[in-house]
Amino acid sequence: MFEGLFQPTHLLLILLIALIIFGPRRLPELGRSLGTAIRDFKQGLTASGSAPGETPRVEGNPETRTASDSSPAKVNSQPQ
């Protein structure tokens, strides 16, 4: 059904329509900004330092607890 969806004639037609809509002066600027956006996005993904699917590391000491965590809660069982 979708065989040959993007044939060279289809791509030329899309380019021609984009040229008519945006004009010859603006089209290189749009391509440049699109390339910059894709490059920045890829750098942002690799700058995080973790691989996809890897759980992030939590900074700090896991042994530290707050006072409410270390002492059991006192429950008053008598009605007032």
pLDDT at 71 over 70: no
Q: Is the dihedral of CA 20, 21, 27, 32 positive or negative?
A: negative
pLDDT at 62 over 70: no
Angle, alpha carbons 32-8-13 (nearest 5°): 70
d(CA 12, CA 10): 5
pLDDT at 73 over 70: no
Would you kindly state where each structural domain of the chain is located, as residue ranges? Answer: 7-46
Q: What pLDDT, in 10s, does the model give residues 5-42?
A: 778 899 899 989 999 999 999 989 999 999 999 999 99
Mean pLDDT of the region 63-69: 55
